[in-house]
Structures are given as structure tokens and as C-alpha cells.
Structure 1
Amino acid sequence: MWRSAEVFRQRADDYDKWYERHRAIYASELAAVERLGCVGGVEIGVGTGRFAAPLGLRAGVDPAREMLRLAPRDLDLVEGVGESLPLRDGAYPCALLVVTLCFVDDPAAVLREAARVAQRIVACVVPGKSPWGRLYAELGARGHPFYSKAKFYTLAEVAAMAPGLAPARVVATLFTPPPGPDAPEDPVDTGIDEAERAGFACLEFKRGKTPHP
């Protein structure tokens, strides 16, 4: 189950408009995900398709039908939850999760399912100890409709959720603290420790790879 599903059903338009209000942040995040490449893959927690569509993914899964209604029609969209994906084994070359793990009840189960349906996983989060993670957690404590439903993990915690998988690469951006950059930031390849300071960081998981230093 996804503890946040109801708020995304009720506030799908608010969610989607965030990207219009924060274009530099959104562009920075897109660039980070694009560097890792997930063309032809599936996004778990696809929302309104703000990442899947421009980055060339083929499909998306989300529990909130109201979000899927706002997503581009050229995506193969499926209503479902990440802990039990309605997809066959090995169906996609890549599974993408963009700030999805912080909104699910069992992030480890979601990663296991992602590994079942895809050969490679790209999991992006707002690192919990970064200035951005602390800000969002504080806003959540004050009752923010979205952030109050979230739990912000460190990258080390995310890496530990995926037994049998090791982070082969880390790409991060938004090292500028809130309110963020005036223009898009270029993402950088980095290690987990350095990426913990970023506002947005993506871990690429591959089987049998050595963890990124």
C-alpha cells in the first residue's frame, strides 16, 4: 500500500503545477536522471509523467488514477502499486523511481519488485540529511499536504534497502541550498557521501557491480 495515494488523488493538479512553478529545479532533476539513461523503461510512481515522457520511457505505474489522467497518452500507463507490480518478469531494461521511495509503505519491497521487472534500477531521492531534505521534513511536520506523507531517507539507507544490488553510479544535483538555483544546475557524478549534501540524487543499481566509492 502507498500511504500517500489519497493525497495524490485529491491534489493531482497541485502536484503537476509544482513543476511549472519551479522550472530551474525541475530542469536540474531531469538532467540528472537523463545522465543515467532509462530510455524504453518503466517509471514506478510515474505521477503525471513529468519524467517518463521527456526522458523516453515506455511505461508508467501509479496508484492514483487522477495522476495518470494528466500523463501523456503516448505512455503505457497502468494503475497499480510498487510493492506488487502488474508487470511480467524482466519486461523492461530499466525501472525508474523519482522521489517514490519516500512515499511508499515498504520501500524495500518496491525495490525488489523493480529488480524483478527490470535489468537496471535508477532510484532518485531527496537525501534526508541535505538542506532540502531537512526543509521538506520541517514543512511536513507543519502539515504540508505532500511532505507530511513522506519519509526522507539518506542515500546510504536507500542502498541498504536493496540486498543483492549495489549502487554502481551516483548522480546528484541541487547542491545550491533552498530556495535553489536561478538557472538549472548541471548534475555531477559523485560518491554517496558527497551526494548526501545534494537536493536530488540518483542511485543506479546493477547486479554484480562494485559499489561507487
Structure 2
Amino acid sequence: MGKKETTFDQNTLEYDRWFEEHPCIYQSEILAIQQALPKDKSGIEIGVGTGRFAETLHIKFGVEPSANMARMAKKRGVHIYTAYSENLPIENESFDFALMVTTVCFISDIPRAFSEVHRILRPKGEIIVAIIDKNSALGKKYQAGQSSSKFYKEAHFHSTEVITELLKQSGFHDFDFWQTLAKPDENEIEKPIKGYGQGSFVVIKAVK
């Protein structure tokens, strides 16, 4: 799956700077993901980007196809597998959990990616998928501005229900949900709440 240099390669610094410019949104997302992360387990982030989430969440391994983003993630202490999520160069049953943060909207073949994650997880391992829900206020805003967005121009947003169904089809079960960014405020960190349907940022956890 060779691809030419992507928007993420060309605008790595701008992407990474976003987290510094929107600290309350970033921290709100971190808090929601932390609800789902298992404690003291071996994990990997698929689509680790510049390592912003992996570093804060103490995840030591990541998968990232963008060379420039992977370089930044390495500087943050993440061991990188250079690959796409549909074809992971990782042995079967290698990790206790896998995290994907706003990654599925950029994946060409989501069922194949989820099957690959299922393969690399140990028995009873957990997948944690964080998305901007297609039907949420933020999801609608991003879709409306897609044509002029560097990063979301080629994204395909999905609903929580669709991602949940795709996870079920890949063999995952026992679902939990958390949500945040119900009313995104640049000056306030939002506490996550269980379920979905109110917050724009939804964390889905399921078990192998």
C-alpha cells in the first residue's frame, strides 16, 4: 500500500501544534480515553500520529505510516511500526489492548483493520476506538468544512452505531461507551460521561 506524501507528512508541525492551541479539548479527550484504558497492560496505538496521546497515556508502541509524524512520535518515546492499519507487521496475540484515536475516518478498509487488531490482541484483549461521531455537532461541523480542511478533506466520518457494528463483525463483544465534548469550550475541560449520543467525541471499548 505505497502512498505518496500525505497531508499529514506535509503539515506535521501544524497538526501537532493544534493540541497546544486547544488544550481543554485535548485534555477532555484524554480524560474520556482514560476511562477505557486497562491499567498496567501492554498496549499499542494504531495511527499514533505525532505521539501526543501515546505519550500522555504511557503507551510505548505505535503504528504510523507517515514518516514525519512517526519521527515526532519517536522523539516522545514511542517505538514505531511503519505500516498501515490494514496490514500490521506484528505477531499474533502480542498486546493486551489497542487504541485508535480519530483514526478510523482515514482508514480505507475498516473491517480489515479491525480484523488485524483482533489478530494482534491476546485473548480477552481490548480495542478502544475514539471517534468524532458523524451525527454529532462537531461531526457535522467538520463535514460541512471538509472541502477547505487540510486534515479532514479526505476523511470519512462514521456514526458510533456503524463502528460498533463493524467491531461486532470482526469478533469483538462486551461494549462500553464514554463521551465528551457535548459542548466544546476552549476554556473548560469537560468530564466524560458514560454512553453516547450527547458528546461529539465518543470512546468505544470492546473485548476480543
**By how many angstroms is 1:4 displaced?**
9.7
User: Structure 1 counterpart of 2:43, which letter?
Assistant: G
**By how many angstroms is 1:168 displaced?**
1.7
**Cross-structure match for 2:19:** 19
- Check 1:5–1:93 CA distance in 2 against 1; reply closer, same or farther (3 A cut): farther
**Is the contact between residue 22 and residue 186 of structure 2 (CA under 8 Å) also seen in structure 1?**
no
**Is the contact between residue 98 and residue 128 of structure 2 (CA under 8 Å) also seen in structure 1?**
yes
Structure 1, unaligned runs of 5 or more: 208-213
Report the aligned-residue RMSD: 1.8
**Cross-structure match for 1:47:** 49
- Check 1:35–1:185 CA distance in 2 against 1; reply closer, same or farther (3 A cut): same
**Is the contact between residue 4 and residue 103 of structure 1 (CA under 8 Å) also seen in structure 2?**
no
**Cross-structure match for 2:180:** 173
Counterpart among 119, 130, 134 of residue 128 in structure 1 = 134
**By how many angstroms is 1:5 displaced?**
6.5
Alignment pair present for 1:204 and 2:167: no
Alignment pair present for 1:93 and 2:96: yes
Counterpart among 86, 89, 96 of residue 83 in structure 1 = 86
**Cross-structure match for 2:148:** 143
User: Structure 2 counterpart of 1:89, which letter?
Assistant: N
Alignment pair present for 1:68 and 2:74: no
- The count of aligned residue pairs is 200
- Check 1:189–1:4 CA distance in 2 against 1; reply closer, same or farther (3 A cut): farther
Q: Which moved more, 1:76-85 or 1:3-12?
A: 3-12
User: Structure 2 counterpart of 1:17, which letter?
Assistant: R
- Check 1:10–1:59 CA distance in 2 against 1; reply closer, same or farther (3 A cut): same
Give the Cα–Cα distance (whole angstroms) in 2 for the partners of residues 138 and 4 of structure 1: 26
Structure 2, unaligned runs of 5 or more: none
- Check 1:133–1:106 CA distance in 2 against 1; reply closer, same or farther (3 A cut): same
**Is the contact between residue 45 and residue 97 of structure 1 (CA under 8 Å) also seen in structure 2?**
yes
Alignment of 1:95-114 (within 5 A): 95-114=98-117
Runs of 4+ with deviation above 2 angstroms: 1-5
**By how many angstroms is 1:2 displaced?**
9.1
**Is the contact between residue 121 and residue 204 of structure 1 (CA under 8 Å) also seen in structure 2?**
yes
**By how many angstroms is 1:73 displaced?**
4.5
**By how many angstroms is 1:98 displaced?**
0.2
Tell me the SS of whatever aligns to 2:86.
Answer: helix
Give the Cα–Cα distance (whole angstroms) in 1 for the partners of residues 186 and 93 of structure 2: 38
**By how many angstroms is 1:40 displaced?**
2.8
**Is the contact between residue 179 and residue 198 of structure 2 (CA under 8 Å) also seen in structure 1?**
no
**Is the contact between residue 5 and residue 63 of structure 1 (CA under 8 Å) also seen in structure 2?**
no
